[in-house]
Amino acid sequence: MNAPLRIGVAGLGTVGGGVVKLLTEHSRLLSVRAGRPIRLVAVSARSRAKKRDFALDGVRWERDPLALAEATDIDVVVELIGGSAGVARRLVQRAIARGKHVVTANKALLAMHGSQIALAAEKRGVAVAFEAAVAGGIPVVKALREGLVGNRVRRLYGILNGTCNYILSTMRETGRDFATVLAEAQQAGYAEADPSFDVDGIDAAHKLAVLTGAAFGAKVNFAGIHVEGIRRVSAMDIAFADELGHRIKLLGLARETRDGIEQRVHPCMVPLAAPIAHIEGVFNAVVVEGDFVGTTMFQGRGAGQGPTASAVVADLVDLARGRVMPAFVVPAERLADRAAAPMDRHVGAYYMRLMVQDQPGVIAAVSSILARHHISLESMLQRGRSPEGAVAVVLTTHSTQEARMRRAAEQIGRLKAVTEPPCLIRIEQF
């Protein structure tokens, strides 16, 4: 049997612990499948004294994670520290400079610096592998690199954050509001104490940036993503979505347009006929539309110790077999420098919920504003009467330009009879 692939792991949190467990429990199986053993040589983490539910017998402890990059008895550095800067970035840069392969689950690092990291790795003749950075145990990066490599990707979209999907699913199932369900998700461990990265869409945007680079052969452009979170989605909106034959999902979407690559993360009205509408709870799903293959969907657990560790080890097996591939499908020096399509030029249908005083002339005033902006209505819903308070009015439109819809919403929001800013949710057609 060939010499072992020697690895060093930086970060022994949830994912790092899962990697150690998987390598230990499946050592013989991995040796057969990889053609040689995968041996854990050294680790580094914040605290050596912390109690852990796995053994590190015979494994060297390094106080400084950068020592893993310098060690002559390590072939691959597995970076599981996280963060787009600081020690994680220095470790990856140092490992590449020292001629070591890198496996990482760090979507923030790749979203901010992925193109530069890929170029440095290719110049040094080493690999940067990151299956675990997007959608946990779902092998979507491998699908883009290998199974779908013969296709031009027309569009990709997906549920990329399990926390948001869990919150929206629970709101729909229970009728409870966002704040209540978020608090429950935090207690259950599905949401962080500071949930901003999840519920404000940043985590999903990091993952979308990485997927877009791999799908379209373009330089990673996190700054070009339009990002909205789910804080303003109400139980009322979810109930109206059901009535309209839709589900509300936080999606990441990317496609090529005449103006550049459109990348956006925001709540969407998804028709019930679309399979992705039925992905519930903490599960993720990614849909890729190719010109020859058609529509393919990948789904599974997008986070957690087991699924993410599985993705890390899949990359390690590839390296043990000698598979060194461009990080973003095409060579880094040939990644296209594509413009970001302006969100104002996006064209689609919209759901708009208004809270209005129940009095004559309100709908006429709203309709007049929409007409001035050349926005055509498809449907209108109003439930109940309340002469003394506000009532909900829901409008859905035919396809129109984002800029027009936003200008109209701003003017509608200034009407005296409208009691709060209009809620806008884009309606997607799949």
3 state DSSP class of 424: strand
Q: How far is CA 317 from CA 234, 362, 380, 383, in A?
A: 45, 64, 55, 57
Phi and psi, residue 134, nearest 5°? -130, 125
Question: How crowded is residue 86: how many other Cβ atoms within 10 Å of its Cβ?
Answer: 11
Q: How far is CA 144 from CA 139, 154, 159, 268, 295, in A?
A: 9, 13, 17, 24, 13
Q: How far is CA 38 from CA 7, 24, 139, 150, 313, in A?
A: 7, 10, 20, 31, 9
Give me the sign of the Cα torsion angle 285, 152, 210, 196: negative
Q: List the strands of the sheet with 128-129, edge to edge.
A: 60-61, 38-44, 5-10, 76-79, 101-104, 128-129
Decide if 370 contacts 229 (C-beta within 8 A): no
- Name the amino acid, one letter, at 8: G
- Name the amino acid, one letter, at 154: R
Nearest in space to 251 (alpha carbons), one of 366, 157, 362: 157
Q: Is 207 a catalytic residue?
A: yes
Residue reference for tokens 């390590």 = 74
CA 259 from centre of chain = 23
Give me the sign of the Cα torsion angle 298, 304, 310, 315: positive
Q: Which two tokens mark 117?
A: 């990291």
3 state DSSP class of 227: strand
3 state DSSP class of 393: strand
Q: Which of 107, 142, 207, 249 is the catalytic position?
A: 207
Active site residues: 207
